[in-house]
Chain A
Amino acid sequence: MSATLSRDPGLVATGSRAGRLAGRLWRALARTHGRLGTVGMLAAAFLIAVALVAILAPLVAPYKPNAEDLFSINAAPSSSHLLGTDDTGRDILSRLIWGARTSLLGPTIVVGVATLIAVPLAAASAWCGGKVDVAISRVLDLIFAFPGLLLAILIVALYGQGLLPCSVSLAIAYMPWIARVARSGLLRERNKAYIAALDVQGLPGLAICLRHLIPNIASIIWSQVTISFGYALVDLAALSFLGLNVQPPTSDWGVMVNNETALLDGHSMEVIIPCIVIVLCVTAVTYVGNQLSDVDQRAAR
């Protein structure tokens, strides 16, 4: 199936600049297709679409997230409210779209912070070896042993509710997962001859790590980051559900799920729709991450 995609119009249309650009784009797409497969491409496209909608929320959303229309409370889906309204007459679709912002920003912070801490630690561990490696690995084990949600609750208790404390505490909890995977990849790569060759060329260890080691295991890190993103999305929604993360009336998928009055009143759509969106996002992210790590395992074999 990749045969059709990997045919390269860039080779034919090398003349014009636009042609070259199209060729390069095509090659990039073919490469991505090779790594993700068709379903993976669809999943990635879905995620990109969700991210775009989140970024363009003010333009895309038909209403403000907190605009109340008290004349149509708990309205059924209609042409003016595509997914209906909630108990204060707020448009559910608009809340979903605005909610995508916090719901996606949170996991981004989580995996971003976690990766920024994990990769340098893993690199130091793999490069220096010996005592440094032992020390770093023990610290990682220690954090591993502490459940992420519990840590988040503890930090919220200390620093108050909100997206930032929750995200940072989850980042700390997720860091060892990424660090461990990165370390094993880095160790494998570090023992290769080209690293020794760079070492005897007299390049400093830091430069070898930054320019050669880490880029060469980037796909491993990416797959782990992607999978972690899905988990973080769920964990943050859970924290919202517990009332520790994003606070109402700010719209957030987790906050929307935590609407017990809607459930009691029999307006379950309000809760089910954000649930479905969360499940779709997590499934898509996890699928993409799995595809990426499969590619690594195939490459390792």
Chain B
Amino acid sequence: MTALLEVEHLSVQLPIDGRLQPVIHDASFSLARGEVLAMVGESGSGKSMSARAVLGLLPPRARTGGSVSFDGIPLLSAGRRELRDIRLRRVGMIFQDPRAAINPVHRIGDFLTEALVRELGVDGAEALRRAEKVLTEVRIADPARCLRQYPHQLSGGMLQRVMIASVLLAEPELILADEPTTALDVTTQAEVVALLDDLRRARGMAMIFITHDLELAAAISDRVAVMYAGRIVETLSSADALAHPAHPYTEALLESRPDLRRRVAEIPQIPGRPRAAYEAGPGCPFHERCRYAEDRCRDQLPPLEAWERGAAMCWRADELRAAALYPGSGSGGSVPSRPEPGGW
């Protein structure tokens, strides 16, 4: 089966402080129909920007390189009309903050039916009927009433369901979900994610799920891509994501999770601060914060090297893997032979 979305050597440069600075370096990933890819990383790692680049939703003076092909259509070079058609019917996007992403002065019904009625030529009453049906599916209690309400009358969780409903209405083949639960509180998060996954699965839609929560990523996705400083530093199956990370950064992320079964005085942190893509030197962008760093890590960029269960961008990936340094979640990093400068 050919890939639905094929991103190759994608690079994005944005004007920052008056100069074009890279925010994504050479990112490649692909997505089959019905598959879910989670992109994980800290703020500024380029995960949102890669999703936006796919849909051409970049600031006006951004420059892109590489290629993005959706079902064989090159998106980076697509014309306005072609891109519009794909946005309208084939790819949907869910935003982080639903309150910001829905026009506050229009009713929910207008928001949900606007594209259907105005662009897809669906009859108004029929569009409302469909909207009501989808609202029922996203488990909004009184959909008819909801259609008449304004965004400020709904809670954040309800609004995000409305957002999901609006994406489902267009029946796209691919959903880009950009941190869809970050603005919600934790209990609502779980509901919304479960709902999104159920509805997507039932319709066979593929999804790119962007989050900074590795566990959430592993739970919802088939594969996980970990981004750091504008690069994909590791891709792995979600089954391995929590148990067998191959990149020191992924491992460090795992160790920085709070764990209910362990009592710790302080949640471990990764020392230093995240590097923006344009700040990175010639070497591995993570070397300053990496406990396994060697001399060559500082000077030479490691390639993204594939192994049986994924790919990792680390000079010492093979070595570290061979030494079985990744004992899995929860054990807190206690392998004796490892060099541990100022442990975390």
Contact = CB atoms under 8 A, between A and B. Distances in A.
Contact of B100 (A130, A192, A204, A212): A192
Contact of B166 (A129, A201, A204, A211): A201
Contacts of A158: none
B-side interface size class: 20 to 34
A268 interface: no
Interface stretch (B87-95, B295-303, B317-325): B87-95
Contact of B61 (A130, A196, A203): A130
Nearest to B88: A202
Nearest to A218: B105
A211 B105 CA distance: 11
Contact of B87 (A202, A207, A211): A202
B218 interface: no
A207 B57 contact: no
Interface in A185-217: 192-194, 196-204, 207, 211-212, 215-216
A215 B100 CA distance: 17
Nearest to A213: B103
Contact of B95 (A197, A202, A207, A211): A197
A203 B100 contact: no
B26 interface: no
Contact of A198 (B60, B89, B103): B103
Contacts of B96: 193
B119 interface: yes
A202 B56 CA distance: 11
Given A130-B61, A197-B102, A202 B115 contact: yes
A216 B87 contact: no
Contacts of A202: 84-89, 115, 119, 170
Contacts of A204: 84, 119
A193 B101 contact: yes
B68 interface: no
A129 B60 contact: yes
A216 B88 CA distance: 23
B97 interface: yes
Which 10 pairs across A and B sit closest by C-beta, in order of nearness? A202-B88, A202-B87, A193-B100, A197-B101, A200-B93, A193-B101, A129-B60, A194-B103, A201-B115, A202-B84
12 contacts: A130-B60, A193-B96, A200-B55, A200-B57, A200-B87, A201-B92, A201-B114, A202-B87, A202-B170, A203-B119, A212-B103, A216-B105
